[in-house]
Amino acid sequence: MRILVVEDEESLASALERGLTKLGYTVDVAYDGEEALEDARKSHYDVICLDLNLPRVDGIEVCQRLRAERFSGGIIMLTARSGIRERVDGLDHGADDYLVKPFAFSELAARIRAVTRREGGAANPVVSVRGLE
Ligand code: CA
């Protein structure tokens, strides 16, 4: 299971990387929105933990572009903004869930499990055998 952590706050990014690695996930970190989009084009991620307030390209736009490029994994927004509008915006632009900072690591881990359970059934609905689908 591969996770991309997108967070410009380095101490939080490395704490999340350490914690998720310890749980057995393969973790990459991107420090801004542009880097996140590049990473997501290069590798397959099951879940992207996405800070909303990012340099270069903000999280809402990253979300929107990922979905436009048919990213099918889970997106969990991490945000310091507790405003309802940003959350609704993020969810409307393709995020699956959100956490308001500061959050407990155990809650993030639980939400990752929930999102991957949901993705699990629908990730590959088409079976192809010898050219037949
Ligand atoms: Ca930030």
Tokens representing residue 120 in the block:
């699990």
Q: How far is the CA of 1 from the centre of ligand 1 (A)?
A: 24
Average pLDDT of the chain is 91
Q: What percent of the chain shows pLDDT beyond 90?
A: 80
For ligand 1, the distance from its centroid to the CA atom of residue 123, given in whole angstroms, is: 29
Per-residue pLDDT, 5:
98
Ligand 1 centre to CA of 74 (Å) is 19
Query: For 19-39, how does the pLDDT look when each residue is reduced to its tens digit (9 = 90+)?
Result: 999 999 999 999 999 999 999
Ligand 1 mean position, distance from CA 32 (Å): 9
Q: State the Cα–Cα distance between residues 21 and 96, nearest whole angstrom.
A: 22
Higher pLDDT, 42 or 124: 42
Q: 45 alpha carbon to ligand 1 midpoint, in Å?
A: 21
Residue 123 has pLDDT above 60, yes or no: no
Cα-to-centroid distance, 53 and ligand 1 (Å): 4
Helix (H) or strand (E) holding 108, with range, is helix 105-122
Burial class (CB in 10 A: 0-12, 13-18, 19+), 98: buried
pLDDT digits (tens, 9 = 90+) for 62-104: 999 999 999 999 999 998 766 788 889 999 999 999 999 999 9
Quick check: 119 pLDDT over 70? Answer: no
